[in-house]
Structure 1
């Protein structure tokens, strides 16, 4: 699932739905923007599967990516021990706890699904603003003070232009806190 659909992207940049001449480049932009949004928000937006290898000595542990949707499997990397994921609890933040049975220990591979099943609307809107910004700046359509390219595209003292427009950041909200 993409952060925005091709149809949404075309509407945002003013391409007719029947014009397929720029579909490939437009979807390349959408894919790149999704990782930009994830890096800014410090969370996974597009739902997908991850596998992490960990050396554990029992007790709870925290997965690297959130929000976590589900645990798929937990097993030693050599496959000799498999934990029943139904006996484990994982929070949206990625904290895994054993609810019953043996504690998770050894060199283990944890496979799980993280992200959003439905991308939050404000994330979609922020991604579309970024898309329009990149699209217009690459094609010379926008000008300072017009359209998506506004005052945030000017320079501030010695600083050059922003990569993420202020309008997009307002849609996206503040990044999630980093928990150590």
Structure 2
């Protein structure tokens, strides 16, 4: 499952046939990964991660966190009762409700991450990015990529993605960006 439906993607690309559905689906998956690199999980998924930490809190690395399913010591031992934990869904910070500290890690945390719904601005950013990347399929005479005078020009590379992400997409994602070191 991706950030966009096949129908949304085809509407953005003004495609009415089923000829390119498989390829468009691959583009949707790629666009989803790029958008989620910037804003964290959008499409709900189960995350299993190993986290290190001792002290008053533990930090999950893929917020937004919907809930915590389990927290168990990697090296064996008793699982922590998640009912006694508070998870900040936005930041991914886990604290004990009794104010105690964590010891005995590293830990394996299992949790669903993602959003209840895709924010309209994030959906729009995904559709614009899809359209930008799809333009590589077109010849230069049909509006394909050539030169920098396009409405989709990219003046600065996006971290980790070179010039694949247009400025307008980055601007739309700005309010949803993850803090440094989280995504």
Deviation at 1:105, TM superposition (A): 2.7
Please say if residues 13 and 132 of structure 1, whose CA atoms lie closer than 8 Å, have aligned partners that are also in contact. yes
Deviation at 1:79, TM superposition (A): 4.8
| Matched residue, 1:116 | 115
Work out whether 1:77 is the aligned partner of 2:74: yes
SS in 2 for 1:56: coil
| Matched residue, 1:176 | 178
> What TM-score comes out, normalization by structure 1 length?
0.81
Unaligned runs of 5+ in 1: 156-160
Bigger shift: 4-13 or 130-139? 130-139
Count of residue correspondences? 169
Unaligned runs of 5+ in 2: 157-161
User: Which structure carries more strand by proportion?
Assistant: 1
SS in 2 for 1:70: coil
| Matched residue, 2:6 | 6
Q: Kindly tell me: are residues 55 and 173 of structure 1, through their superposed partners in 2, closer, same or farther at Cα, counting changes over 3 Å?
A: closer
Q: Root-mean-square deviation (CA), in Å?
A: 2.7
Deviation at 1:144, TM superposition (A): 7.0
Runs of 4+ in 1 over 6 A off after TM superposition: none
Q: Kindly tell me: are residues 48 and 135 of structure 1, through their superposed partners in 2, closer, same or farther at Cα, counting changes over 3 Å?
A: same
SS in 1 for 2:34: helix
Please say if residues 56 and 100 of structure 2, whose CA atoms lie closer than 8 Å, have aligned partners that are also in contact. no
> What TM-score comes out, normalization by structure 2 length?
0.80
Deviation at 1:134, TM superposition (A): 0.9
SS in 2 for 1:124: helix
Cα distance in 1 for partners of 2:154, 2:92 equals 37
Please say if residues 87 and 101 of structure 1, whose CA atoms lie closer than 8 Å, have aligned partners that are also in contact. no
| Matched residue, 2:86 | 89
| Matched residue, 1:152 | 153
SS in 1 for 2:50: strand
Please say if residues 74 and 111 of structure 1, whose CA atoms lie closer than 8 Å, have aligned partners that are also in contact. yes
